[in-house]
Amino acid sequence: MLKTTRCTILLLSAALGGMAHAGTPAVADTPQNALHALDRLGYGPRPGELAQVQSQGVDAWIEQQLHPESIAMPVELQQRLAQLPSLRLSAAELFRRYGPPARRAAGDDEAARKQVNQAAARVTEEAMQARLLRAIYSPAQLQEVMTDFWFNHFNVFRGKGLEGRIWLGAYERDAIRPYALGRFRDLLGATAKHPAMLYYLDNWQSTAPRTDLFGEVKGGLNENYAREVMELHTLGVDGGYTQKDVTELARILTGWTYLPRLWLQDGDTPFAFEPKRHDAGDKLFLGHHIGDDGQTEGEYALDLLAQSPATAHHIAYELAQYFVADQPPPALVERMAVRFQQTGGDIREMLRTLFHSPEFWAAADQGNKFKTPYRYVVSALRASGTEVRNFRPLLSALEQLGQPLYGCQTPDGYKNTEATWLNPDAMVYRLNFATALGSGRLPLLRDEASLPPLEAPTPMAAAMTPAAMQPAAQPDAPQDRPPPPDPETLRATLGNTLSPSTSAALEQAPPPLRAALLLGSPEFMRH
């Protein structure tokens, strides 16, 4: 991880069994390059992975990561995921079982209401567990990284209402994961139509204003989604749209909704276009005349947004910032934007351009991104090889570090820059976490059944305080805590690339502290 030791030797392609990207130099299978690939395409190495990527070949590993469907899921991971039943329920079923109908049934009975809240909190927690399980244990690491990337890009928030709490997992499963390496337009359409997004940015309620029998105006536009889809999801804030375009797009998207009344009759269709709510008048959107054409108007508007060069540039910039540097190299952004347009927004092809660019392998930018709290926690669990059965200590750490999982209230999602996350108290907290994990003090093996149910976070609590996970009723027992990671193994897992000052500090420390110091080292703060 020390920059100077991470020299990158680029050889001309030809030799490496055709695994290299056509026409681009192959990446040398050095430990440094293997580590860089693991650190950027994934959440860093688990024990033994460095050697494995090296022997597989860095290029071959990257190519495999670009095709997650080709990577077998470990049986144990599948079994763990199978123990989270709410992950298999449709958005409609989640709504029926845990949403407003359940709350209505509870009426004013306080105990029943509490049960509804706890059941919803359980659904949220299962989504969080699944996310962390996959991030830590899935070998399809790029799929996990891109899921995190796109979730933040198309963010929804766990603290907005009951629906917001129960649909997180379904949203990620239905709208994000299938398209994480696919076509941008599919991702845009899937998020636009998912109940979680329709709910979070209010479009499900936006309607053409109409006058009722008594002459009263009913309903009306809600601009929330129309604005954010341009500002955050596609064109970018300087993408050249006006307030008039926001209003026109809101009109175009009237009627894009979901219909709980169909769900109550066992329907399962997550999205509905409701002609009665649609504004049938002519619109002028981004210079295009759009006549009355029902749902097709919105599809056409999303096409326009997905095809805009501003969108290509916006997505290219975000990807390059996420994978290369906080200030991404402009030439790389430009090439990726071109690739986006050449391929009709093919994310896999953009990433291929990215991973085979000299900028991605530039020595100066290797090991130079400051980890987000999420990446820090996930990478620490991966490196330590620790088994996790109780995720609450990790969820709590994410809260305390300011990045609660699914807890970004605003639609811009979490940033991934050093300016956002590096601050004095963050360092103190990270080192406390490193100390707890490195000395085997986190109750990660605690039996789930012994944990109290979570209370639902109120929007206010989520907004104001780190709604810290409630402590367990009984204190941890020794068997709840996994043994501390062996410092020598940990050091080898991370590639033995420590700076002289880190090495010296490590040698001086008593052995029981060394794993903590490795997980808290400056090298491990970055990736």
Partner 1 sequence: MDRRRLLHQLATAGLALPFARGGWAFAAPELKQKRLIVVMLRGAVDGLSVVVPYSDADYYQLRSSIAIARPGEDSGALDLDGRFGLHPALAPLLPLWQARRLAFVHATGSPDPTRSHFDAQDYMESGTPGVKSTGDGWMNRLLGGLPREQGELEAVSFGPVLPRIFAGPEEVANVPLGRAAGKPTAMDRPAIGEAFDRMYAGDDALSQAYREGRASRQRIVADLSDPVSPEAMQADNGAPPPQGFALDTSQLATLMQRNPRLRLAFMQLGGWDTHVNQGNAQGQLAKRLEPLAQGLAQLATQLGPELDHTVIVVMSEFGRTAHENGNKGTDHGHGNVMWVLGGKTAGGKVYGDWRGLGGDGLHEGRDLPVTTDFRSVLARVCGQHLGLSDKRLAQVFPKAPGTGAANVNRLLSA
By C-alpha distance, which of 351, 399, 382, 281 is closest to 41?
A: 351
Cβ neighbors of 68 (< 8 A, separation 6 or more) are 140, 142, 143, 181
CB closer to partner 1 out of 300 and 429: 429
**Min separation Cβ 517 and partner 1, Å:** 6
Binding partner 1 by CB under 8 A: which of 435, 450, 489, 496?
A: 435
| C-alpha to C-alpha distances, 270 to 326, 364, 409, 508, nearest whole angstrom | 37, 47, 23, 59
CB closer to partner 1 out of 357 and 379: 379
**Min separation Cβ 488 and partner 1, Å:** 17
CB atoms within 10 A of CB 332: 23
CB atoms within 10 A of CB 214: 6
Total number of residues that touch partner 1 (CB under 8 A): 62
By C-alpha distance, which of 176, 171, 130 is closest to 153?
A: 176
Does position 100 bind partner 1 by CB under 8 A?
no
Binding partner 1 by CB under 8 A: which of 64, 234, 295, 521?
A: 521
Residue tagged 């934007």 (tokens): 337
Binding partner 1 by CB under 8 A: which of 15, 264, 284, 468?
A: 468
Query: How many helices (H) and strands (E) would you count in the chain?
Result: 29, 8
Region near partner 1 per CB under 8 A, out of 9-17, 51-59, 309-317, 508-516: 508-516
CB closer to partner 1 out of 222 and 343: 222
Contact between residue 159 and residue 458 where contact means Cβ atoms under 8 Å apart: yes
CB closer to partner 1 out of 75 and 419: 419
Binding partner 1 by CB under 8 A: which of 426, 442, 469, 519?
A: 426
Binding partner 1 by CB under 8 A: which of 291, 424, 475, 483?
A: 424
Bin 264: left if φ > 0, else alpha if -120 < ψ < 50, else beta: alpha
Q: What residues numbered 212-271 form the site for partner 1, per CB under 8 A?
A: 219-224, 227, 231, 237, 243, 246
Q: What residues numbered 385-404 form the site for partner 1, per CB under 8 A?
A: 400-402
**Min separation Cβ 205 and partner 1, Å:** 5
Tokens of 525: 């703060």
Q: What is the DSSP string of 475-525?
A: PPPGGGSPPPPPHHHHHHHTTS---HHHHHHHHHS-HHHHHHHHHTSHHHH
Q: Footprint of partner 1 on this chain (CB under 8 A)?
A: 201-202, 205-207, 209, 219-224, 227, 231, 237, 243, 246, 400-402, 409-410, 412, 418-429, 431-432, 435-436, 459-461, 463-466, 468, 501-502, 504-506, 508-510, 513, 516-517, 520-522, 525
